[in-house]
Amino acid sequence: MADAPPPQPPSGWNFAAMAGNVVQFLRLPVLASGGLAVLASGMLYFKQNELIYPRNIPVDARTNVPKPSDFGMADFEDLRIPTPDGEVLSAYFIRPSNKKIKPKVTILMFHGNAGNIGHRVPIAHMMEQELNCNVFMLEYRGYGFSTGTPDEQGLKIDAQTGLDYIRQRAELQGTKIVIHGQSLGGAVAIDLVAKNQKEGDIKALLLENTFLSIRKLIPSIFPAAKYVTRLCHQNWLSDEMLPKITTVPILFLSGLKDEIIPPDHMVRLYKLAKSTDCVWRTFPNGQHNDTVAEPGYFEYIHAFIVEEVLD
């Protein structure tokens, strides 16, 4: 499917300047994703989680978490949210800066496998300005200031905890929930939406540069390791979960120069999708972590949410 020209942004938005802030923080975490190649080349089975969830990259990622106020955002809450299994998750709840219009959308953001939520605050800043929406940024267990140790089952509990918090917060009653996931966060988002779509309050899913499954990703970035993928106990079977999503519209955002996850993974996920409303958008120069800074990124999201969520 050919991409349509990007919709024009509302007058007055300086997307290029704000996108530069996003890339400034996301260029460091991209280095960590290469750890999967090390895993694929024969690292010990028990070191797998350390490589798939490199929450200590960059080196101060557990102690230095930028706040929304560092980017001029005043109306936010720095939260600590308990999980059912005893962990405490760090999160930012960000309200839109435009107080004249009541927000109709709440975006729940899931980030990639390195860094912390603070590195993605500029993305949330652009989201709240462009869409006049609330943004809820959840920190996985073992990342940033969240307690615990990350693994697949734990991150699934974290995601459900974040969604339940939005559902239970009185201020957010009646807002339309949109789930956004980048890279590993895409796998987290797919699993969450597949398990919660029946409630009807999730109105859209945004997927960016994510993968079919961990086992299918490893041979793509290190072909010689195809015989050891059976050692993976972290699966993230997005190729099995995505077809279960049938009632939630999905926007696929694919950087065609993704150096970590082959763009073919996104293509195949798009072909597997069973939702009645799926939109495919590509970015010819988009790499794994800087697709967000490519022309048209936020405009595509704006147009999709206006048409699929707010219409």
From the list 247, 215, 239, 244, the residue with the least C-alpha distance to 228 is: 215
The answer to whether 311 is a known catalytic residue is no
**Tokens at residue 304, please?**
């999709």
From the list 189, 162, 8, the residue with the least C-alpha distance to 83 is: 162
SS (H, E, C) 11-46: CCCCHHHHHHHHHHHHCCHHHHHHHHHHHHCCCCHH
| Catalytic position from the list 33, 146, 183, 213 | 183
Q: Are strands 88-94 and 134-138 parallel, antiparallel or unpaired?
A: antiparallel
The answer to whether 258 is a known catalytic residue is yes
| Catalytic position from the list 33, 258, 265, 302 | 258
The answer to whether 180 is a known catalytic residue is no
**Tokens at residue 122, please?**
């500029």
Token pair 């206006």 is found at 306
What is the C-alpha separation between 37 and 256, in angstroms, rounded? 20
| Catalytic position from the list 180, 288, 290, 302 | 288
Residues with a catalytic annotation lie at 183, 258, 288
